[in-house]
Amino acid sequence: MKFRDGMWLVKEGIRVEYAEEVYEITKTERGVSLLCPTRKILNRGDTLNRSTVTLDIEAEIDGVISVEATHWDGARRPGPNFDLYPDGKPAVEPKITESEKGTTLTSGSIGATISGKEHNFDIRFHSADGSSKELTSLLARSVALAYTPAFNNENVTEDMRSIKHYMLTQTSLGVGETIHGLGERFGAFNKVGQSVQLWNADGGTSSDQAYKNVSFWLSSKGYGVFIDTPGKVDLEVGSERSSRVQTSVEGQRLKWYIIYGPSPKEVLTRYSILTGKPNSVPAWSYGLWLSTSFTTDYDEKTVNHFLEGMRDRDITVDVFHFDCFWMRGFRWTDFVFDPEKFPDPKAQIARLKASGLVKKVCVWINPYLAQAGEAFRAAAEKGYLVKRKNGDVWQWDQWQAGMGLVDFTNPDACRWYAECLNKLFDMGVDAIKTDFGERIPSADVVWHDKDADPERMHNFYAFLYNKVVYEALQARYGKNEAVLYARAACAGTQRFPLQWGGDCESTPEALGESVRGGLSLGLSGFAFWSVDIGGFEGSPPPWIYKRWVAMGLLCSHSRLHGSSSYRVPWTIDGDDRSEEGCSRTLAKWTALKTRLMPYLFAQAQTAVKTGIPLSLRAMCLEFPNDPTAWYLDRQFMVGDSLLAAPVFEESGEVEFYLPKGKWTSFFTNEVKAGPGWFKEKHGFGTLPLYVRENTVLVLGSRTAKGAVYDYLDGAEVCLYQVQKGAKAELVDAEDKRVGTLEVGDDGKVKGTEVLKGKWKVSETGRDLEGDAAVSIEDLS
């Protein structure tokens, strides 16, 4: 939201009152409280008939300081609130010092200095680790309260019911600074110049709306900002004042945390202490997921035909997903299998698993209960649905006729919903796709929790919804065996993995949108992410399907899913069985991900401990000192050692950037030296996939099928320009660390005694014997 008309004028219809000076500094238990009048106080009379803003600046944890701007402190503090420090709050010792520069609050490695100059408003945030690096600042006209409509007579504030009140802050934006994150956003990777509204919406991937609005952004200057409100937030990222990031909310308070790194990985780790770390997910979830697609027609025979066809084409499917129409039309979500299509679902699922065609089964749900379904009647009778202010159940006909919304602020409703899920688990369902959760009403709505503010509930509903389902899965299957496929999210929802990118079109542009969305969500604290391979809307041409397969199998999780058309490969290209056909392409990329499982699973352990993404991992996380890395939105890292660049052109041509160092092609062992841009032309079995120097890459056996196998049996240990001390952690399929491989003084690998079977070490890249021929042309 913009409050000004250029630099000099206030926007028509808006009244803005800026904090003009720091009049008084009071020391508090954890920091300082600043009294900031909205005019300079030159005499006693200036203290009359004038508003003030109180700025509470407090030490939170090492490297983190909170800032809360308040106008009227008597305003109530409604819920819900983010569940901060879920694993406990680390202790920190606030330090307040006085110097010629002013008053400085230090919280471990970060400090905030309030200028001591008279009649001045100047607050600088800087490192306190010895580097003296300035991060950002609050300068003149950077903290304010605002009203709309504007008024001249203060008496009108006697009745605020027709007046909107806002709080806003503007942090300085340095020359060349870039801003990233803010959830899963499909537009430009660098947010500078954008107006961004944090308000969950079902808008697909081709708009400025987002399913996953996360109130956290990451700066290329080595800090991040977390905005501590689940309600609507408006940001002007260099788009109202080109040298500032403006944050505004409706209400009397605005609180945010500034988080220092100095590296972006350290910023994300500290952010994960605030909002929660991603949980681990089981090995089987990394394998290929096959969906029925959305509005397609299917029954047990169709499902078996698909899975048998995949097996016959040497494509291993680990998880089969039943989308919406496992239930009858007009009855979603009533948790009841369609009796005509699936007369005995428990027996069918058992037969499916016993056949060996699939390991696990997933079903689709959402929190919207159609009026015609059994679940609606039960929930309405027990008071488990959100209500209107007049006491009616809140209903509308969007999506499902007469649908109601489960009220997850009601503990009894949460227990009831978990019981419904347990009936599915009793049938053999192993994972849940938690779709929707964005269209949450904020008007004419009353929640069971009377302290819940409807606007704050809109985004936060995604957290409550996914938490209930995730914890039900954990209760049934174990702490690290729970898996969601969630669409909606807000800050903290990374604790309940995993998330996927929503409704994308079957176009190369949508593939690019999806990459940007995955990169942005990864920079918002989410470790795991997936996408609808082939695109959701429309029917992908074979070349797009195959290029999407390559990208999708390098995501942390991989699912074939569409809208009105199937995504099994033979339906895409008329069952072309050649090496460049859809089936062979899918088989090769699925097999590659299977071989990468020892590496991926070990990298995942680091991701969940630190809050950094496994894949898609933005290049700037690994190469923060390379300015180019902060602009790269057509490539990504898979873990810390593999660089991947999807192909967006039908010709197979692709341009990509290699940072400083030696990089080895995974497919050919050819070595390139960065930094620099390169151009290649690829067939469908490859894309630019380069291994970073000083990497010990552990690959699984070539004969392995699926994501779950003995990663140590028949492993290949591949060395890429290694030096003494290069390491690779070894984990098994149960997510247990079983050893470490390390290069010694003699250049040999130590720790191989835990490997099994016919393992080997390849000293100059991997062994290419047995690979299919590749088609890669260097166009650089």
Asked if 366 contacts 445 with a C-beta cutoff of 8 angstroms, the reply is no
Nearest CA-CA partner of 185 in 167, 163, 204: 204
| Cα angle, residue 448 at apex, residues 445 and 404 outer, rounded to 5° | 55
Domain coverage including residue 126 = 4-177+221-275
- Same domain for 681 and 545: no
Q: Of 275, 295, 319, which residue sits at a domain end?
A: 275
Asked if 433 contacts 484 with a C-beta cutoff of 8 angstroms, the reply is yes
Backbone angles phi, psi at 425, to 5 degrees: -60, -35
Report how far residue 365's alpha carbon sits from residue 691's, in angstroms, rounded to the nearest whole number.
39
Any domain includes 387: no
User: Which residues in the chain show pLDDT less than 50?
Assistant: none
Strand 223-227 vs strand 213-219: parallel, antiparallel, or unpaired? antiparallel
- Given CA atoms 445, 448, 453, 455 in this order, what sign does their dihedral have? negative
Helix (H, G, I), strand (E, B) or coil at 694: coil
- Same domain for 294 and 258: no
Any domain includes 28: yes
Name the one residue in this structure whose structure tokens are 């065996």: 481
**DSSP code, position 564:** S
Any domain includes 183: no
- Same domain for 508 and 549: yes
Q: Of 275, 293, 318, which residue sits at a domain end?
A: 275
pLDDT value of residue 132: 83
Strand 253-260 vs strand 223-227: parallel, antiparallel, or unpaired? antiparallel
CB atoms within 10 A of CB 765: 21
Any domain includes 168: yes
Any domain includes 585: yes
- Same domain for 302 and 271: no
Count up the domains in the chain and report the number: 3
Report helix angle 411-426 to 454-477, nearest 10: 40
Distances (CA, A) of 85 to 91, 105, 354, 408, 495: 12, 22, 43, 21, 12
Distances (CA, A) of 395 to 286, 464, 488, 780: 38, 20, 20, 59
Strand 253-260 vs strand 244-250: parallel, antiparallel, or unpaired? unpaired
pLDDT value of residue 131: 86
- Same domain for 735 and 663: yes
Q: Which residues contact 774 (CB under 8 A, 6 or more apart)?
A: 667, 668, 683, 685, 686
- Same domain for 104 and 11: yes
pLDDT in tens, 18-43: 999 999 999 999 999 999 999 999 99
- Same domain for 145 and 243: yes
- Same domain for 626 and 564: no
- Same domain for 711 and 666: yes
Residue 637: alpha-carbon gap to chain centroid: 15
Q: Of 575, 606, 637, which residue sits at a domain end?
A: 606
CB atoms within 10 A of CB 579: 17
CATH number of the structural domain spanning residue 100: 2.60.40.1760
- Same domain for 239 and 146: yes
- Same domain for 669 and 644: yes
Residue 141's region, left for phi above 0, alpha for psi from -120 to 50, else beta, is: left
DSSP labels for 407-452? -TTSHHHHHHHHHHHHHHHHTT--EEEE--------SS-B-SSTTB
Report how far residue 239's alpha carbon sits from residue 219's, in angstroms, rounded to the nearest whole number.
16
Residue 8: alpha-carbon gap to chain centroid: 38
Report how far residue 49's alpha carbon sits from residue 28's, in angstroms, rounded to the nearest whole number.
27
Asked if 779 contacts 653 with a C-beta cutoff of 8 angstroms, the reply is yes
Any domain includes 388: no
Q: Which token pair is 680?
A: 């290649």
Instruction: For residue 732, give the amino acid letter.
Output: D
Asked if 106 contacts 139 with a C-beta cutoff of 8 angstroms, the reply is no
CATH number of the structural domain spanning residue 714: 2.60.40.1180
Report how far residue 598's alpha carbon sits from residue 161's, in angstroms, rounded to the nearest whole number.
60
Any domain includes 743: yes
Asked if 92 contacts 61 with a C-beta cutoff of 8 angstroms, the reply is yes
Backbone angles phi, psi at 60, to 5 degrees: -105, -70
- Same domain for 623 and 591: no
Report how far residue 762's alpha carbon sits from residue 689's, in angstroms, rounded to the nearest whole number.
18
Q: Answer whether the bond into residue 554 is a cis peptide, omega within 30°.
A: no
Report how far residue 424's alpha carbon sits from residue 415's, in angstroms, rounded to the nearest whole number.
15
Asked if 388 contacts 445 with a C-beta cutoff of 8 angstroms, the reply is yes
Q: Answer whether the bond into residue 80 is a cis peptide, omega within 30°.
A: yes
Any domain includes 653: yes
CATH number of the structural domain spanning residue 416: 3.20.20.80
Asked if 29 contacts 47 with a C-beta cutoff of 8 angstroms, the reply is no
Report helix angle 542-552 to 508-522, nearest 10: 10
pTM for the model stands at 0.97
Q: Which token pair is 707?
A: 């994501």
* Residues belonging to the active site: 435, 438, 503
pLDDT value of residue 130: 86
